[in-house]
Amino acid sequence: MSVLELACEPCVEILKEGGISTKEIDAVLFSSCATDQYSSAIISEMLGIHPKIVHRVDNLCNSGTNAITSAFAMIASGLCDTALVVGAEKGKGPGNRLLWDITRGSFMLPPQWAAIFAKAHMRKYGTTEEQMAMVSVKNRKNAARNSQALFRKEVGLQDVMNSRKIAYPIKLLECSAPCDGASAVLLLSEQRARRLDNPVFIKGIGHQTNSASLAKATSELTRIDAARSATSRALEMSQLKISQIDIAELHDAFTILEIIAYEDIGFAKTGEGGKFVNQEQIIINPRGGIIGCGHPVGATGVAQVAEIASQLAGKAGMRQVRHCANGLVHNLAAAGSSASVIVMGV
């Protein structure tokens, strides 16, 4: 399947079951790193819909949440009543290398970057290889209950620890895998959404972009400052405290990123992310995270939002989490230089 055919799949389901006619879609925003031109209009054509606004949004691994933010803004500003956001990617797409870093003589491949953060966190806070490996064990366990996940076989601690070393201390089973994938979300104006059963609302949005150069990305390689800024903005807008978040999708492209995310978001104190892996109060990455689901780059942020929306609406099927009212999505791009955080609630 082409990336455009892939993109249509989840849209067809939404159009079938979303209680909306093709005539009512005001915008189609396509999130992808694919280089196809004019792709959002072609997807609209393939779906037989004629929206007002169509364009593609791209910002590498957080393209998806950028598209969600654009759609939110178009609705909140009154330009649209409804917006279909669809993310899709081919595993062999162009989004898997950090090409711009070539010009800086730096790292092209994401695992090398993640290894630097992992080593810094181990050195400063005593985080262990086993704690990082446990992130993969947990997320693969969740993925086993997700029919849409790329990896549906559980792995044990020793499987992860013994998997191929990629860039010390990162091991193969601690890395997300590029793959084909697509996800779509339909955004409606508040007024329209309130007419539906179990609507879920975007309550807060925060973004931050820091330097794309690793040397300046952060003065402290144990944290991702962009994620901290994005989180505080999203929480402020939502008027919620972090203690009120019941469920979260965190950007676990590598295990260390989930541990750092616990701290950046404020689920754990700085330095205590390693120990936080085994907690069970806040449900983290119920669909299996990026490690379990695979990482179709432009689709990932959309899939994260779709998961939290399904959970909050009570429509997550086999992996439904009980009693969740507020959720959070944390989506990074390009060596943590960009971060998006979206807070949702019922």
Site string for its own copies, 62-91 (x = CB under 8 A): -x--xx-xx-xxxxxxxx------------
192 touching its own copies, by CB under 8 A: no
Write the CB contacts of 120 (distance below 8 Å, at least 6 apart in sequence): 221, 222
Q: Which of 18, 24, 42, 346 binds its own copies (CB under 8 A)?
A: 42
How many residues of this chain bind its own copies (CB under 8 A)?
Answer: 56
Q: Which of 18, 19, 20, 41 binds its own copies (CB under 8 A)?
A: 41
Minimum CB distance to its own copies smaller for 60 or for 268: 60
Binding part of the chain for its own copies, among 52-60, 170-178, 276-284, 302-310 by CB under 8 A, reads 52-60
Give the per-residue SS3 of 233-259. HHHHHHCCCHHHCCEEECCCCEHHHHH
59 touching its own copies, by CB under 8 A: yes
Query: Does residue 295 have an active-site annotation?
Result: yes
Binding part of the chain for its own copies, among 44-52, 144-152, 260-268, 276-284 by CB under 8 A, reads 44-52
Q: How many residues does the chain have?
A: 346
Catalytic residue, candidates 33, 295, 324, 330: 295
Binding part of the chain for its own copies, among 129-137, 141-149, 166-174, 210-218 by CB under 8 A, reads 210-218
* Structure tokens belonging to residue 221: 């390689």
> Residue 43 Cβ, how far from its own copies at the closest point, in Å?
10
Minimum CB distance to its own copies smaller for 57 or for 167: 57
Identify the residue whose tokens are 């064990």.
Answer: 137
CA–CA separation, 138 and 207 (whole Å): 28
Long-range Cβ contacts of 321-327 (<8 Å, 24+ apart): 321/246, 321/247, 321/283, 321/286, 323/246, 324/246, 324/247, 324/283, 325/244, 325/246, 326/203, 326/238, 326/240, 326/244, 326/245, 326/246, 326/247, 327/245, 327/246, 327/247, 327/248, 327/249
Site string for its own copies, 282-321 (x = CB under 8 A): ----------------------------------------
Write the CB contacts of 217 (distance below 8 Å, at least 6 apart in sequence): 210, 211, 335, 336, 337
22 touching its own copies, by CB under 8 A: no
Minimum CB distance to its own copies smaller for 95 or for 345: 95
Query: Does residue 8 have an active-site annotation?
Result: no
CA–CA separation, 51 and 276 (whole Å): 45
> Residue 325 Cβ, how far from its own copies at the closest point, in Å?
24
40 touching its own copies, by CB under 8 A: yes
Residue pair 234/264 in contact (Cβ under 8 Å)? The answer is no
CA–CA separation, 250 and 221 (whole Å): 18
Residue pair 255/132 in contact (Cβ under 8 Å)? The answer is yes
Query: Using CA atoms in the order 27, 2, 295, 221, what is the torsion angle rounded to 10 degrees?
Result: -80
- Using CA atoms, how far residue 281 sits from 208, 243, 253, in Å, is 28, 10, 22
Catalytic residue, candidates 61, 80, 293, 324: 61
53 touching its own copies, by CB under 8 A: yes
Minimum CB distance to its own copies smaller for 158 or for 211: 211
Residues forming the active site: 61, 295
Binding site for its own copies (CB under 8 A): 28, 33, 35-42, 44-45, 50-60, 63, 66-67, 69-70, 72-79, 94-95, 99-100, 205-213, 229-230, 233, 333-334, 337-338
